[in-house]
Amino acid sequence: MLNLVIAILAFIIWSSVVIYYFRTPLMHWFDNRFGKDPVLPDLDSEEEPSASAASAPPPADKAP
């Protein structure tokens, strides 16, 4: 029984050392795998969003 406890304890210690050593690549991988995806532009729309924003009238407080 003592051998099993020592084996489990050794496994926990080794795995924590490996995770601590590779924490930066693991964090990048988890962020890439499970992080929030960027919002993609709507491909079905006919007009470009930059063109509609450029043709919009200026705000009331910025009007000359």
| pLDDT for the residue 50 | 57
Give the model confidence (pLDDT) of 7-17 as tens digits.
Answer: 999 999 999 99
Q: Domain residues of the chain, as ranges?
A: 1-35
**Distant-in-sequence contacts of 31-35, Cβ < 8 A, 24+ apart:** none
Tell me the whole-structure pTM to 2 decimals.
Answer: 0.45
List the pLDDT tens digit at each of the 64 positions of the chain: 999 999 999 999 999 999 999 999 989 988 888 888 788 888 887 665 555 555 566 666 655 5
Q: Where are the alpha helices (DSSP H) in 22-48?
A: 23-34
